[in-house]
């Protein structure tokens, strides 16, 4: 449900921005608090976290960490970040058609979507005791990369928010969908179990 809600929010925002692609009040407020600095060394380093080499390396680590504990989650969390980025770059951005100046399409941010997807995947594959720490670190990294793309003026603030929604929503949705068959089977008693229960139950006196 969380994944569906996040993806739905991203889709709804995309529909609104497709009709009014220009900067809105939220974008103006974000740009006010995050000043432009295209030459920022820190910002240029932070955005590398959302690059393709880091994405592939992160996916590989996530897969090998999870494969021995939950192979379904390992495959889901390895595939979801790649799926999220592909959907952003080849479907969402062309459909919305939002641009900054005469540059490339901007909504949602593919850089932020990649980082948010990796952060969500790390959260899911982390041991239960370490999940609060992974959630905190992931949130800090996503915030840092989101601020970096704003400093460089690659995106509007709403593009960043859309990237977070798509990246994390794709991971939560695909992981839940991949586990759905096992959850359904676990909730249904087998024929042998139900038959055995009937055979051993005491007779009912009428």
**Average pLDDT, whole number, for the chain?**
89
- Say how many C-beta atoms besides its own lie within 10 A of residue 118's C-beta: 29
**DSSP code at position 50:** G
Higher-confidence residue of 182 and 33: namely 33
pLDDT of residue 184: 72
pLDDT (tens digit per residue) in 98-114: 998 767 899 999 999 99
pLDDT of residue 140: 97
**If you average pLDDT over residues 127-132, what whole number do you get?**
93
**If you average pLDDT over residues 188-193, what whole number do you get?**
54
Distance CA(134)–CA(176), nearest Å, equals 19
pTM across the whole model:
0.86
pLDDT (tens digit per residue) in 43-83: 999 999 999 999 999 999 999 999 999 999 999 999 999 99
Least confident of 20-34, 114-128, 134-148: 20-34
pLDDT of residue 201: 42
Residue 155 and residue 181 in contact, taking contact as beta carbons nearer than 8 Å:
no
Answer whether residue 22 shows pLDDT above 70: yes
Answer whether residue 196 shows pLDDT above 90: no
Residue 46 and residue 109 in contact, taking contact as beta carbons nearer than 8 Å:
no
188 confidence band (pLDDT: 50, 70, 90):
low
């Amino acid at each position: 449900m969380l994944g569906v809600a996040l993806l739905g929010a991203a889709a709804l925002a995309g529909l609104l921005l497709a009709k009014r692609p220009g900067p809105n009040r939220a974008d103006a407020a974000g740009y006010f608090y995050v000043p432009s600095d295209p030459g920022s060394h820190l910002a240029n380093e932070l955005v590398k976290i959302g690059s393709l080499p880091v994405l592939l390396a992160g996916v590989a680590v996530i897969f090998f960490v999870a494969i021995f504990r939950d192979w379904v989650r390992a495959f889901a969390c390895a595939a979801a970040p790649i799926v999220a980025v592909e959907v952003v770059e080849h479907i969402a951005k062309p459909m919305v058609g939002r641009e900054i100046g005469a540059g490339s399409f901007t909504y949602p941010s593919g850089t932020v979507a990649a980082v948010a997807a990796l952060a969500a995947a790390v959260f899911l594959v982390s041991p239960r005791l370490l999940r609060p720490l992974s959630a905190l670190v992931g949130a800090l990294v996503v915030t840092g990369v989101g601020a970096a793309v704003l400093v460089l003026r690659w995106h509007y603030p709403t593009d960043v928010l859309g990237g977070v929604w798509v990246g994390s929503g794709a991971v939560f949705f695909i992981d839940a969908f991949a586990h759905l068959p096992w959850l359904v089977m676990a909730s249904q008693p087998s024929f042998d179990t139900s038959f055995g229960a009937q055979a051993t139950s005491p007779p009912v006196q009428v």
